[in-house]
Amino acid sequence: MNKKLSVVMAGIVLACGLVGCSGGGPDLEEGMWEITTEVDMPGMPMKIPAMVYRQCLTKEDVVPKQGPANQEICTYSSPKTRGNRVSWSVECQSPGGKTTSEGEITYRGKSFDGTLTMSMSGVIEMSGTNKMSGRWIGECQ
């Protein structure tokens, strides 16, 4: 193999390792997912119980959404995919103020885990982190 071709091939291998070359999105089993979120908000008088919900996820809709963040008061950025990692941001505006969040999850076929960091401003000033995990449970209903 000539030297130029070797350098080009090495560059392609390195680029695939850094950004992922799947082209088809993350390793995500499309269908119904059970998603669990655990909230950690320093300063809260008591721990908020874990929340469990279900959502249909597809390669075109890879971001878990829940509660008010799934309603029209929120604006999502286009998700960025890097291999099996998906990241996004969301901004929600309500009469009480604004919440901004940054999320990142890693898919592993029929499971994922990740975090969503959030910051609230307005009537209440708070910040916290949601730990998220998901598992595929079957076909979308």
Q: Mean pLDDT for each 10-residue chunk of the chain (141 residues)?
A: 38 35 75 94 83 94 74 84 96 88 97 94 87 96 82
Q: Is 111 left (phi over 0), alpha (psi -120 to 50) or beta?
A: beta
| Cα separation, 57 vs 84, whole angstroms | 14
Q: What is the CATH number of the domain that holds 97?
A: 2.40.160
133 domain-assigned: yes
| Cα separation, 51 vs 68, whole angstroms | 13
pLDDT of residue 72: 61
pLDDT of residue 10: 34
4 domain-assigned: no
Q: In the structure encoding, which two tokens stand for residue 94, read together?
A: 């309500």
State the DSSP string of 99-115. Answer: EEEEEEEEE-BSEEEEE
32 domain-assigned: yes
How many CB atoms neighbour CB 103 within 10 A? 23
pTM score: 0.75
64 domain-assigned: yes
pLDDT of residue 87: 97
pLDDT of residue 18: 35
Domain count within the chain: 1
7 domain-assigned: no
19 domain-assigned: no
85 domain-assigned: yes
15 domain-assigned: no
Domain limits at 67? 24-138
All residues at 6 or more sequence positions from 38 whose CB lies less than 8 Å from its CB, including other chains: 50, 130, 131
Give yes or no for a contact between 53 and 66, defined as CB atoms under 8 angstroms apart: yes
| Cα separation, 134 vs 129, whole angstroms | 16
